[in-house]
């Protein structure tokens, strides 16, 4: 399919407002995905923001051949693909895995769409690029730029109810530590859902509030049928640039302080924490093993170990692992080799996914899955869906999930406090 392109320049000071207008303009489509770096400097990234809107063609399914079919769609179209991977896609890829809990959202295990319109702003530019299949891209650009100012909409005051109460959460962590003591696993990511119900909520307004409060480099807004996701993720799952596959798992979190001296102390304490470093290196080893499945022998390397990154509410420990994709492997093979991401499972991956379903009380669905894009050249970039809210417009069900990695050295009360620290970013916009 042929695309028609147009470029419109704007003043650097207009960037934030143009992003808001892009997101507002996308509301006319039944499906859209908006990806936003929030101006974080990323030497491996390409886009300040990227929007795919409207579906010209869609693959929506869950079966063992989904990645083969995804690659076949890209090979047929050689066009942009935007979409998601649900955490529960694991059940389709490995028949001995399951999810016993009830879902609340309309997200299929895997969905990708060829967008009718792609809007992008590259890093370091003040140019909005419109790429359209069947409409005048200059007209679309003007519609976005001439759109009304997007006011800050007030959100309702809401109270969330946790699936696990604090005492139940602490007791479960003790049980998980017994599995670790017995050699069943050595790290497991355990999460807790909180939910409420609210009618007529504007998910784009929720996104605006969340990313204003917690701007992050892998933020996303996703709308599909009746379900929406509002995401303020700081974590990259997997990226392909040319032949290089790169993953950047997060393991290690500490709160920020308004006092600069105390904040510096907290950051230093994270860097020196033996527990956090142990959690991080376990996942680094897991990612190295995943990448080794699809990358050339000897090419997998740790580019950065225990990197410290600062966000508005937390400091985080992030490592970067990369490898060179083998010539007999496609981008879809790379995604399948590494999914689901080790930072949201633990290790060994197969056993902890069974334990996650045994001890968690909610279906993860899109949480701890991924959204992202595949470009016409076959490069891609996908995030890890954390720090996210999910909304089902028909039922009014609004929820989020938070958690952390449990190891033998975990203190249950500290794990609960870390969970609550992460939760405040979502709950705080409704106070």
Q: Residue with structure tokens 């954390």?
A: 386
Nearest to 316 by CA among 371, 282, 266: 266
Dihedral sign from CA coordinates of 241, 280, 255, 338: positive
Respond yes or no on whether the N-terminal peptide bond of residue 257 is cis (omega within 30° of 0). Answer: no
End-to-end CA distance of the chain: 47
Residue 177 CB partners (closer than 8 Å, separation 6+)? 406, 408, 410
Could you tell me the two tokens for 111? 């969905």
> Residue 73: which of 379, 376, 325, 384 has the closest Cα?
376
Q: How many whole angstroms separate alpha carbon 45 and alpha carbon 48?
A: 8
Query: What gap in Å lies between CA 93 and CA 109, rounded to an integer?
Result: 10
DSSP code of residue 14: G
CB-neighbour burial class of residue 5 (10 A; exposed 0-12, middle 13-18, buried 19+) = exposed
Mind telling me the catalytic residues?
A: 235, 251
| Residue among 51, 60, 106, 110 nearest 80 (CA) | 51
Peptide bond into 267 cis (omega under 30): no
Residue among 30, 24, 362 nearest 202 (CA): 24
């Amino acid at each position: 399919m042929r695309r028609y392109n147009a470029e419109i320049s704007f003043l650097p000071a207009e960037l934030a407002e143009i992003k808001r207008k892009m997101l507002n303009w996308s509301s006319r489509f039944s499906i859209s995905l908006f990806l936003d770096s929030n101006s974080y400097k990323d030497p491996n990234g390409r886009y300040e923001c990227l929007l795919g809107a409207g579906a010209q063609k869609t693959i929506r399914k869950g079966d063992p051949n989904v990645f083969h079919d995804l690659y076949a769609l890209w090979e047929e179209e050689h066009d942009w693909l935007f979409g998601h991977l649900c955490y529960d896609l694991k059940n389709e890829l490995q028949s001995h895995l399951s999810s016993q809990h009830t879902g609340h959202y309309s997200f299929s295990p895997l969905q990708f769409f060829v967008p009718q319109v792609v809007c992008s702003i590259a890093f370091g530019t003040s140019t909005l690029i419109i790429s359209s299949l069947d409409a005048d891209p200059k007209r679309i650009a003007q519609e976005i730029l001439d759109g009304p100012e997007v006011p800050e909409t007030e959100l309702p005051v809401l109270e969330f109810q946790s699936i696990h109460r604090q005492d139940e959460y602490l007791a479960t962590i003790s049980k998980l530590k017994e599995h670790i003591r017995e050699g069943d696993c050595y790290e497991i990511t355990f999460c807790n859902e909180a939910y409420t119900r609210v009618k007529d909520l504007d998910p784009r307004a929720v996104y605006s509030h969340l990313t204003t409060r917690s701007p992050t480099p892998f933020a996303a807004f996703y709308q599909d049928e009746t379900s929406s996701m509002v995401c303020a993720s700081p974590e990259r799952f997997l990226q392909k640039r040319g032949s290089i596959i790169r993953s950047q798992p997060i393991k290690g979190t500490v709160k920020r302080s308004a006092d600069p001296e105390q904040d510096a102390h907290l950051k230093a304490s994270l860097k020196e924490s033996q527990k956090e470093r142990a959690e991080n290196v376990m996942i680094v080893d897991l990612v190295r093993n995943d990448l080794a499945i699809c990358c050339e022998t000897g090419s997998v390397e740790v580019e950065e170990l225990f990197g410290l990154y600062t966000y508005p509410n937390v400091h985080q420990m992030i490592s970067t692992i990369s490898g060179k994709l083998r010539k007999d492997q496609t981008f879809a093979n790379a995604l399948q080799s590494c999914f689901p991401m080790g930072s949201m499972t633990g290790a060994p991956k197969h056993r902890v996914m069974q334990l996650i379903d045994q001890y968690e009380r909610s279906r993860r669905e899109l949480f701890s899955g991924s959204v992202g894009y595949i470009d016409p050249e076959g490069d891609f970039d996908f995030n890890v869906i954390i720090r996210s809210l999910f909304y089902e417009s028909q039922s009014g069900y609004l929820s989020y999930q938070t958690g952390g990695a449990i190891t033998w050295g975990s203190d249950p009360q500290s794990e609960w406090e870390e969970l609550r620290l992460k939760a405040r970013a979502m709950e705080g916009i409704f106070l």
